[in-house]
Each structure stands twice: as C-alpha cells, then as structure tokens.
Structure 1
C-alpha cells in the first residue's frame, strides 16, 4: 500500500494522524509541520517519523493530506505543484477550499477528496463529511480511503454542493455541545453539585443521549417525548427552553456558520 503523508499536524490534523497511524501502521504514515518543535512533539507521542518539508511529503507519499488552515493553501500549492502527478490522491480538510480551488492550484488532473472532519476524532469518535472529485478512483484506492476515514470515527459521502451545510452539522457543532455541557454544569453547580461531578453527570448524559439516537434509530423528538412525563420536571424545562428560543438559537447559529462558509469560498 502507498504511504499516507500529512502536511500539518495541528488541532485537526493530529487527531486524524493518530487514528490513521493506529490502523495503517507507523511505516505507512508520515507527516510534516511548520514547526520543528511540533514535529518532535507529535513524533514523541505517536512514534511516527516526520519529514523535513512539504516537498518530501509529496515526493514520497501517494495520499497527501492537506491538514492546514485555508490561508496556507496557496503557499503549499507553490511548494508541491511540480511533484504532484495523476497517481496522487489529495485529501483536504479545510473549510472554504473547493475541489476546483485545489485543481486550479495543483493541476486539473489532480484527484481530490474534500472532507470536513471534527475534533472528536481525537477519541476515535469523529464524524466526517466527504466528497470526491469527478475523477476515477480505483477500488483499491476507495478501500484505502474507507479505512482512512473510519480510522478515527465514521463518515458520510455527500455531493460537494452540501459541504458547507456539512460544516454546520459536524465541523463546528462540537463547540456548541461543549457550551451546552458547560452551561448545564454551571446550572447545577449553582445548586451545590461539585463541579467535577457536574461535568461527569452532564457529559455522560449527552454521550448517552447521542448513543440512543445512533443505536435506536428513533426520531429525536420521540426520544425527547419519552423523557417528558406529563406534568413532570422535564416538560417544564423543555417549555422554558422553547420560551427562551433554544431551537431558534441553534438554527441562527447554523445560519451564521453557513454564511461564513459561503463567504470563505468566495
């Protein structure tokens, strides 16, 4: 199997790199980063060897993962363009960078997999939205890509026209969940529960509720109704959430996220 090389090992690249290395093995995965100190730190934690520069990644790896922020893509194009061939598969994780953008930067022939992962990849529970360029990928390459994206969680394939909506659903949403956990914990600390126990109570409840949706396949509204006993505490709380615009706030957050993603593409 051809090697996988990461350009970038930051907040999103590192969790992916860690999962991919566990599945493919340290001999098949390498990386580079703009900081030598970062390279040494990641290498110490993962046991992976790193390369000195981006050209080395392009020159030795078939699967090249562009795990850097959008503003650095142009500089990377200029570095590696002469080394990229039709045999390469480029995997991007950047918001606002389209398949067309990458083809313009590296050549119209380049085969691209655009993806939007999220940070729970660090605990192998990531969710990634994926779309492919309209080029031909062999069955072996598709199998490698399947193992790649399942090495740190789950994934779904979408048409590229939906990728900005995917960013809202999985790329940015963990931040909202962390805010919910923090707010819920604060709300019960107010009534005397120690903070460490509050975080565990709330985080495990969020995790369990998400698992219920995933495993039972029940509609979230039906699962919500099962918790809301007539005249009980939960329906009282749900009524308060509705009064203060909980759903509307979430939808408005998605609108803001989506509009920002659209503007980044421009």
Structure 2
C-alpha cells in the first residue's frame, strides 16, 4: 500500500517523518507533492521518499492520500474528482469535518471517495504525538482499523464525536505552541538568574516531559501533583500563588478560546 501527502508543510512532513522513522511505513511506500518543487525534492531526498511533480502523479501512485493543505485549498486540489475515485482521503485540515467533505462531494456522490478527518500535532514527528480522529467517517471498517493502527505508532489517537472535534484539535494541535511558550518563559527566568540558555531549555523541556509522563502513568490528578510538590510556606506554593495572581489559568482558557474561534 502506497501513501501520498498532498501538501508537505510542517504538519505533513512531521507525520510522514514520524511514520517512516517508526517503521509504520517504508520510505519506498511514501510520496509527497507540493507547489515548491525545489524545496519538496530536498525534503523528500532527506527522508528517502518519492517527490511527485503533480497532484495527478501523486494520486496515481497512492491508495491513501493525506490532504495536508490549507482548508482554503481543499476544493482546488480536489477539483478533479474523477482521479480520486476509490481512494481513501485523510484530511489534516482544521475545520474540515466529515460533513464538510460530504457537502463538497454532494454533486458527485457515486465516485467512491472515502474520507476521514484528523487533527494531528507536530510531536508525531518523534512518535510522541496526539491525533484527534473524528468519529464520523466514510471508510470501510477494515480501512479504518488499519489506518488507526498505523497512526498509533506515532501518536495517542483519540476518536471524538464531531461536536468536540474542534476543541479537541485545539488542545492537541495548538497547545504545543503554548507549551513551547511556557518552556521559553521558564528558560528566560533561568537565564535571568544565571543559567546558561541551553541548560535552561533542557531543564524546562525535561521537567515538562517528566511531569506529563508522571500524570499519564500514575493517573494522579494534576491538582494532586501540584499539592505534592508544594510544602507549607515553601518556595513552590509561593510560585503557584504568583501564577494565580498573574492569571495563568485565565490566560490559558482565553488562548484556547481564541484558537477555537478561528477553527
């Protein structure tokens, strides 16, 4: 089975790289197509995958096609519906649910194009990702099971109802940027008080990774973990109080709301 990436920006490349490096796909099975052919060829060469000169070439070579273009470009790249007949389309575009594709294909209901909408995040590149999969889709049962098995090699896959697809996608897909901001802020504080920049980044990143792992593996509630770290009249509770005074919780909720309003 060959897999194509129609669009090869940050998210498409991260997912392709993660799947190849995890061994879920062989490089020889993977193709990509993008407008900037020079950049595409360089990226494909580094991964050992095939670069396609046109959408038609990619479609001909692929059974599964990841749509990794912007939502505004979807109708354009799918203009030639006939060429996608019998293919499995896997959307990575924010705001493009199953219903959106059904509306897009309404004029051509008999072409056998099966589709599923996903919202992955960049950590898929290192097999530590999260992928939100919409529960509603038009894949055959065996196709759906096979796809989820492949995706689980690089991510925690969460299947959610359409009503929660957007909010789950924001938490999984946008929040890595929020987490990176938090790491950067911690590192800035470390530098302010004398740490070398690279060491400050290492400390902050590993702290966040370890804290997340502890919550996942032990099942401890985040509030309980916070309480464990805070000793009476200690330095940690003083820091927690400062975060509350500065509105950390409110800022995070506002950030999610802002991201959700544009999805």
Do both share a fold (TM > 0.5)? yes
The residue aligned with 1:206 is 208
The residue aligned with 1:82 is 82
Secondary structure at the residue paired with 2:65? strand
TM-score, normalised to structure 1's length?
0.91
Secondary structure at the residue paired with 2:51? coil
Secondary structure at the residue paired with 1:127? strand
Q: How far 1:38 moved relative to its partner?
A: 2.0
Residue 46 (structure 1) aligned with residue 47 (structure 2): yes
Distance in 1, Cα, partners of 2:136 & 2:56 = 23
Distance in 2, Cα, partners of 1:144 & 1:24 = 12
The residue aligned with 2:33 is 32
Structure 2: where are the runs of 5+ without partners? none
The residue aligned with 2:120 is 117
The residue aligned with 2:151 is 149
Distance in 2, Cα, partners of 1:25 & 1:113 = 22
Distance in 2, Cα, partners of 1:136 & 1:27 = 24
The residue aligned with 1:264 is none
Residue 131 (structure 1) aligned with residue 130 (structure 2): no
Q: More displaced, 23-32 or 167-176?
A: 23-32
Q: More displaced, 2-11 or 51-60?
A: 51-60
Call closer, same or farther: CA 1:134–1:67 in 2, change over 3 Å: closer
Structure 1: where are the runs of 5+ without partners? 262-266
Distance in 2, Cα, partners of 1:144 & 1:29 = 16
The residue aligned with 1:105 is 104
Secondary structure at the residue paired with 1:24? coil
The residue aligned with 1:255 is 257
- Residue of 213, 216, 219 corresponding to 2:218: 216
Distance in 1, Cα, partners of 2:114 & 2:161 = 16
How many residues align structurally?
257
Residue 91 (structure 1) aligned with residue 94 (structure 2): no
What is the root-mean-square deviation of aligned Cα atoms in Å? 1.6
Call closer, same or farther: CA 1:170–1:136 in 2, change over 3 Å: closer
User: Deviation string for 1:114-141 (max 9, x for gaps)?
Assistant: 01101111211111100144435132x1
Secondary structure at the residue paired with 2:35? coil
